[in-house]
Amino acid sequence: MFIEVILPVPLADTYTYSVPPEMEHQIASGSLVLVEFGKNKHYSGIVAFIHQITPVTHFEVKPILSVENSQPVLRRPQLRFWEWLSQYYLCKQGEVYKAVLPAGFKAESSVKYSQKKETYIQLSESYRKDKDSLSSVFDSLKKAPKQEKLLLAYLEYSRIISNQEHREISKKELLEKSRSNDTTLNSLINKHILEVYEKEVSRLKSYTLELKAFNQLNTLQQQAYGEIIRIFREKDVCLLHGVTSAGKTEIYIHLINEVLKLNRQALFLLPEIALTSQITSRLTQIFGNKVGIYHSKISDNERVEIWNNLLGNDGYQIILGVRSSIFLPFRDLGIVIVDEEHETSYKQQDPAPRYHARNAAIILANMHGAKVLLGSATPSLESYYNAQTGKYGYVTLNKRFEETELPEITTVDIKELKRKKRMKGLFSPLLTEKIQTALENKEQVILFQNRRGFAPMIYCKICDWMPKCKYCDVGLTYHKKYGQLICHYCGKNYELPMVCPECGNQELRERGFGTEKVEEEIRALFPDVKVSRMDTDTTRQKNAFEDIIRDFEKGNTQILIGTQMISKGLDFGNVGLVGILNADTMMNFLDFRAHERAYQLMAQVAGRAGRRKKRGEVILQTSHPTHPIIQAVLNNDYPTMYESQMEERHLFRYPPFFRIIEITLKHKSEKLVEEAANVFASNLRASLADRVLGPDKPVVGKIQKLHLRRIILKIEISASLSVLRRILEEQKTVLLHNSSFRYVTVQYDVDPLT
């Protein structure tokens, strides 16, 4: 018996190993095996398939060392999915494996899965056999009331002497319920009345409260729901285009329930961990322990437990999670819901596979015979195009739940205010006045600035010197809280210089502003108001997202300042005002998606205002109030934005009319990487002609000491990806066989977001 094994290395897709006869009965597709790779390197590998074909090779075919799991850790559809991912995203299956499988499964990992154990309490064996003898125990405890109270609590909660079903009780639970301590418990144990035992327990939370009934859909929701059901009879994918606060989540819940009736599973994808806390409570209140939560903040041990839970036939029926949830071992998916489908967080940047969870989820669903619902108030242009051309179904929900009006948006020309010297800080007089009014009305305020830190740029007034990272070709951001300059690419910290190192000038100035500066200024203006900030600096801890959101939901926080995190579908009931502090920074990126992204961000943030029965207000500060994107946001005019952007996309050969592939070459030597990029681009042009653009130096031309060069491919949608992959692999092999370029890194990004 021979097996093809996927190893967590970015070389070949699979490697051939032989199976010793005594292990043959343990091998199955998806099994985890321990193998030797190279000289004395041991890896856990996944069995891709089994065969009896003796390989023709000059190399020794090594036997596997052991079978690590008696049961496969993957299901067959997952292996097909891995194969598609590696083919489409131009990477190796080993890279998929390395990124996907929880570390606790892998022999080479420093992280090893361990079953959690907990201490439980039970009656000593003699009293379990003869419960009548307990009366003498209580006689002996008359002078020990604390011990008597604890024993009574144990008997009550364990139900051991009642006619009800006996339940086990942990030491922690018993001490909490009886309000006792270790000393009292140890006394009962020493008297051989109670005894302790260890038990393996799950780390996964269980829902113990009473389940709630489904909310009834209103007329508009019911119409949309019925239309989705009708479309699913004809098409596999449907786009639900619903304004912010239209009640899309309730439609999702009703669709999930229909799938569960068929004993199939549902995957509910969200773009950010920040959203999981709100949606989790809504789903678990209705579906209870059928719901599993999967995201990057859970521990490696919890990942393994969720994975193993899904490998069982009675595992979770609903998974709520972020992009990596698409890799879980689903038994039989019936529906995939991609909420806020336009969000860039669905795209994996590093490491490979650089997949887009929305697009990959559509393929995954197809492999399961499942349906896909994409939901957004501001759909991606690609999804909207697919809906307009009939590839996807299309359903609109154009009124808010309970018919609340969309917020009133007012633009403020900050360029004109600065010219007239009427704006000294970050807030226009109108925005300051509106914040004051909202607070007086006991309403909450959200302030949006899509940059973190205090100041994006420090510079010398005399010579224009600006601090840059030693390892990355990028300016440093000033973080006042830490008194440091920080590189947002590699994370390196630098001390803030007191004088300019170039000319000795002592006057260093700040240019631009981030959320930290917004927080400082708002605290100065409203010193008695509770303010919170939500960005990657304040949400590093495991429960930081949830704590900030919970405080705001409960009204403990009056003003919430944040980056794009606060734009992603959060549902707050008392937000009267949203302030967008500088709309222009979002539109000025060197990126073909900049205007689409700016529209989405502004429309989504504006949608946080006025979410119950009262209309909210939005103050949008900009230097270009007549800009077409600003006007589209003001008028909630998605179709006009779409048409103007599609004209440009078609003219300049961008998605959805062409497929973009970004090739990045990296090396420590700038001269060498430039030479390699020129050779690679020239060789590609021989086959791909004018589809090859570049090479050029990206905006950030060096990251972590490595110099970068970029080649862009614009490929027709109808072109064969397998042919393209062959051309790229051939030319990459030719390049790397040149001894000069041997250590140049070449990586691909299919469908990049910039």
Would you say residue 132 has pLDDT above 90? no
Question: Is 242 among the domain residues?
Answer: yes
Cβ-contact 30, 79 below 8 angstroms: yes
Instruction: Please report where in the chains the tokens 């019911």 appear, as a residue.
Output: 222
Within 13 Å and on the Cβ side, how many CA atoms surround 219?
Answer: 3
Confidence at residue 390, expressed as pLDDT on a 0 to 100 scale: 96
| 494 and 537 share one domain | no
Cα 233 to chain centroid, rounded = 31
Residue 752's nearest CA partner among 663, 685, 670, 667 is 663
Omega prior to 656 cis, within 30 of 0? yes
Which tens digits make up the pLDDT trace of 258-312? Answer: 999 999 999 999 987 766 677 888 899 999 999 999 988 788 889 999 999 999 8
Is there a domain that residue 422 lies in? yes
pLDDT at 402: 66
Amino acid at the residue 322: V
Q: Is residue 445 within 8 Å of residue 610, measured between CB atoms? A: no
Residue 360 sits in the same domain as residue 409: no
Q: Which of 607, 630, 648 finishes a domain?
A: 648
Beta-carbon contacts of 341 under 8 Å, excluding residues fewer than 6 positions away, are 239, 358, 374, 375, 376, 379, 380, 383
What value does the mean pLDDT of the chain take?
Answer: 91
What pLDDT shows up at residue 506? Answer: 86
- Are 133 and 150 contained in the same domain? yes
Using alpha carbons, select from 78, 19, 9 the residue that is nearest to residue 45. Answer: 9
Are 96 and 48 members of one domain? Answer: yes
- What is the side-by-side strand order in the sheet with 484-486? 477-479, 484-486, 493-495
* Overall number of domains in the chain: 6
459 and 544 part of one domain:
no
The reply to whether 653 falls in a domain is: no
Closest CA to 125 of 196, 198, 173, 199: 196
The pair phi, psi for residue 617, each rounded to 5°, is -125, 150
* pLDDT tens digits, one per residue of 171-216: 999 999 899 999 999 999 999 999 999 988 888 877 777 889 899 9
445 shares its domain with 470: no
Q: Is the pLDDT of residue 611 over 70?
A: no
- Tell me what pLDDT residue 206 has: 77
Strands 457-460 and 508-511: antiparallel
pTM of the model: 0.88
**Could you tell me if 7 and 58 are in contact, meaning their C-beta atoms sit under 8 angstroms apart?**
no
pLDDT of residue 612: 61
What three-state secondary structure class fits 242?
A: strand
171-178 and 145-158 are packed helices; what angle lies between their axes, rounded to 10 degrees? Answer: 120
What is the chain's length? 754
Q: What is the pLDDT of residue 344?
A: 92
Residue 418's contacts (CB-CB under 8 Å, 6 or more residues apart) are none
Of residues 493 and 108, the one with the higher pLDDT is 493
Any idea what the CATH number is for the domain that residue 569 is in? Answer: 3.40.50.300
Integer angstrom CA distances of residue 325 from 7, 352, 406, 739: 21, 16, 33, 41
Q: Which are the contacts of 157, defined by CB distance < 8 A and separation ≥ 6?
A: 167, 169, 173, 174, 177
Average pLDDT over residues 420-441: 94
Strand partners of residue 396: 241
> Residues 530-545, buried b or exposed e (16+ Cβ, 10 A)?
ebbbbbebbbeeeebb
Asked whether residue 212 is domain-assigned, the answer is: no
Closest by alpha carbon to 537, among 478, 581, 589? 478
Side chain identity at 387, as an amino acid letter? Answer: A
Residue 419, number of CB atoms within 10 A of its CB = 10
Give residue-wise pLDDT tens across range 495-512: 989 899 989 998 888 888
Residue 213 lies in a domain: no
Q: Is there a domain that residue 263 lies in?
A: yes
Give the per-residue pLDDT at 272: 79
SS3 662: strand
Q: Please tell me the predicted confidence (pLDDT) of residue 569.
A: 61
The helix or strand, by DSSP H or E, that contains position 393, with its residue range, turns out to be strand 393-397
Can you tell me whether residue 139 is helix, strand or coil? helix
CATH at residue 732? 3.30.70.600
For residues 286 and 192, membership in a common domain is answered with no
User: pLDDT digit string (tens) for 671-680?
Assistant: 999 999 999 9
Q: Which two tokens stand for residue 360?
A: 């990959």
- Tell me, yes or no, whether 207 lies in a domain: no
* Last residue within a domain, chosen from 76, 105, 134: 105
* pLDDT tens, position by position, 527-558: 999 999 998 888 777 778 788 888 998 899 99
Query: Look-up: residue for tokens 């502090």?
Result: 581
Phi, psi of 247 (to 5 degrees): 90, 35
Is the predicted pLDDT of residue 323 greater than 70, yes or no? yes
Q: Which is nearest to 92 in space by CA: 719, 732, 666, 615?
A: 732
Helix (H) or strand (E) holding 255: helix 248-261
| 542 & 418 share domain | yes
Section 406-435 average pLDDT: 93
- Looking at 201, 229, 258, the residue that finishes a domain is 201
Domain residues for the domain of 36 are 2-105
pLDDT for residue 550:
86
Counting residues of the chain whose pLDDT is more than 70, the rounded percentage is 98
Angle at 141 between CA 135 and CA 142, to 5 degrees: 100
pLDDT tens digits along 469-488:
999 888 899 988 888 899 98
Does 436 lie in the same domain as 553? yes
Is 211 a member of any domain? no
Question: Could you tell me if 426 and 564 lie in one domain?
Answer: yes
Same domain, 182 and 233: no
Report how far residue 457's alpha carbon sits from residue 475's, in angstroms, rounded to the nearest whole number: 7
Say if CB 243 and CB 399 are below 8 A apart: yes
Q: Is the pLDDT of residue 409 over 90?
A: yes
Predicted pLDDT at 307 = 94
Q: Do residue 420 and residue 383 come from a single domain? A: no
